[in-house]
Amino acid sequence: MTTPFPFTAVVGQDDLRLALLLNAVSPAVGGVLVRGEKGTAKSTAVRALSALLPEVAVVPGCRFSCDPAAPDPSCPDGPHEAGPGAQRPARMVELPVGASEDRLVGALDIERALAEGVKAFEPGLLADAHRGILYVDEVNLLHDHLVDLLLDAAAMGASYVEREGVSVRHAARFLLVGTMNPEEGELRPQLLDRFGLTVEVAASREPDQRVEVVRRRLAYDDDPAGFAARWAAEEAAVRQRIVAARELLPSVRLGDGPLRQIAATCAAFEVDGMRADIVMARTATALAAWAGRTDVLAEDVRQAALLALPHRRRRNPFDAPGLDEDKLDETLEEFSGDDDPDPDPDGGGPGGGGQPPSEPDGPQGGDTEARPEAGEGGQPQASGAAEQSAVRASEPFRTKVLSVPGIGEGAAGRRSRARTEHGRTTGARRPRGALTKLHLAATVQAAAPHQRARGRSGPGLVVRRDDLRQAAREGREGNLVLFVVDASGSMAARQRMSAVKGAVLSLLLDAYQRRDKVGLVTFRGSAADVALPPTSSVDAAAVRLESLPTGGRTPLAAGLLKAHDVLRVERLRDPARRALLVVVTDGRATGGPEPVALAGRAARLFAAEGVASVVVDCESGPVRLGLAGQLAGELAGTAVTLDELRADSIAGLVREVQGNRRAA
């Protein structure tokens, strides 16, 4: 067995180590979500924790790790008699990103169940992780339905598998740890809320600390066993402290004062639901036990808030994570139960210390945006040489669904129709490989004509492997939504560009909700740039969009050709994910030789390849040239104005795209 890197040898990352230890003391805290850039010891710390956990007693031969002192009465391998058991180390089970539902929750052997009448259940990773650690690296890349199953099991402490009338339940209590790189996409807020604690990690910027990280890593790689031996005493001390804290935990008292502080803090930060209050209470109790105390103090409540609330403050992917610590301290002070009527001894009145400094920043920021607009509003844009500073996007709004015609087979999502493992049943087929979703009616229908030949004349049905039919299901897939945004001088009026950015931001929010990948190509001046390569991180796209400058000529052809290159490369990487091209422009083309003809030829490349496309027409003014509509015709797509992006008339957009393509 590989010697793990010692937990106590991890340099820095104090919040990460504390959050992991608190869950080791009290698994009821609900797990840890670790957010951070690559190479920040996320996986190393989790694997090191498993070696610190005390050994567990199990019923010999039980595949579900039942506790011999109190066996699970519904254990599929039971019933077990209470008595002495065998000791084994706590397990750390890793859930791979590409795992199937059967691998996660377990699977019934449907062939044996039908042919032999035997209820044979093969446990999954949830059973393996019972009374240990379940580690999910890149949890944000898991399919949503797997994350739902995972978090439901963590919340209920049990896993349920029900298929074709056969039901299995087994205990599944584990320490859930998920890691993710925010640049690769966010979890939905509903799923974020299901993790008890969250920690943001980043590499140290202190040279001495970075040197120590490298020194320890090199020493471990040269001699893992020897390095671990040098840290054995520290590891043993932490292990003993975990055991002592677990024993002390039932004696810790959460008084009315700390409980009021918890409730007031959650209310002050406008956290939805009551899960945050419960998690904070459990975390504060675990902190007190870890410190060797039987009373919860205000410092425990404060630390619990810093670990339990930041990820619950995010209402959409564009909200910045984090917590205002000044506001937190003011709330705790106000509800501390102190008799002093003035909660702010430094003067300024309640809330006076934190509010005034923030007020100048808001208006000042607004003035910074307003002054250039007043100065530039009368400047001519025809020369194409001037460049404007970035303008802020208008408020995002709810858009209608844009989808790709036909049926795909891409990654699960919520945009376009696709053949998936989940969704409504549309038919049956012979299984390719292992049978997962049985179509019972089709199986019976296939087996029925052969009963006399198989010697069956009375009631019952003889089913053989050739009779089995797999359910064909139709669900939804996520697409690659590639935005091609005109940032040239023809659209550089600041108010207009603000509306354009607001529209793209709205479409980005829609892409986040539908689990799409997004990319961003911009064109202005004399060239086009890939502002954001295709990614699952729509908040990264929003950041690039917000800082997008405008001005210059309109190289429309360059923008389309750059988008064509992006899609060509992406098809090689992910051929099953279909693309939706969204061109945001007024349709003008003024950059390069023969700009209009070249733009038309570039657009026809997409039409020839059958790429679904939509042109968001940003032309304004009383006289409109209709150039965006002409571009949509060349793309075999459809044009929609900014105003129509909000309207019900866009519901038929995809059908029109499909009809135009067939007519062409």
- Using CA atoms, how far apart are residues 139 and 33, in angstroms rounded to an integer? 9
Q: Please give the helix or strand (H or E) that residue 121 lies within, else none.
A: strand 121-122
For 177, counting Cβ atoms within 10 Å of its Cβ (0-12 exposed, 13-18 middle, 19+ buried), the class is buried
Geometric angle at alpha carbon 654, from 541 and 495, rounded to 5°: 45
**290 with 241: CB under 8 angstroms?**
yes
User: Could you tell me where the beta strands, DSSP code E, fall in 148-196?
Assistant: 158-163, 166-171, 175-180
* C-beta neighbour count of 493 within 10 angstroms: 20
**590 with 492: CB under 8 angstroms?**
no
Geometric angle at alpha carbon 213, from 208 and 217, rounded to 5°: 150
- Using CA atoms, how far apart are residues 105 and 93, in angstroms rounded to an integer? 13
Q: For 117-128, b where at least 16 C-beta lie within 10 A, e where not — what string?
A: eeeebebbbbbb
- Mutual angle of helices 275-290 and 14-25, in 10-degree steps: 90
Peptide bond just before 79 cis, omega within 30 deg: yes
φ, ψ for residue 395, nearest 5 deg: -60, 135
Amino acid type, 128: D
Helix H segments across 184-341?
A: 189-192, 207-222, 224-230, 232-248, 256-268, 275-290, 298-308, 325-334
* Sign of the torsion formed by the C-alpha atoms of 356, 357, 360 and 366: negative
User: Could you tell me where the beta strands, DSSP code E, fall in 497-549?
Assistant: 517-524, 527-535
Name 556's Cβ contacts closer than 8 Å, sequence gap at least 6.
Answer: 486, 523, 585, 587, 588, 589, 591, 595, 599, 602, 631
Residue 321's SS3 state is coil
Pairing verdict, β 121-122 and 107-108: antiparallel
Residue whose entry in the numeric block shows the structure tokens 């391998």: 77
The encoded tokens of residue 349 equal 């009145």
- For the residues of 255-281, what is the DSSP string, one character each? -HHHHHHHHHHHHHTT--SSHHHHHHH
- Using CA atoms, how far apart are residues 76 and 169, in angstroms rounded to an integer? 7
Catalytic residues: 275
The residues that bridge with 476 in the sheet, in sequence order, are 417
**220 with 5: CB under 8 angstroms?**
yes
Residue 172's region, left for phi above 0, alpha for psi from -120 to 50, else beta, is beta
- Comparing CA positions, the residue from 625, 641, 519 lying closest to residue 577 is 519
Residue 366's SS3 state is helix
The encoded tokens of residue 614 equal 């939509």
Residue 661's SS3 state is helix
- Using CA atoms, how far apart are residues 221 and 216, in angstroms rounded to an integer? 9
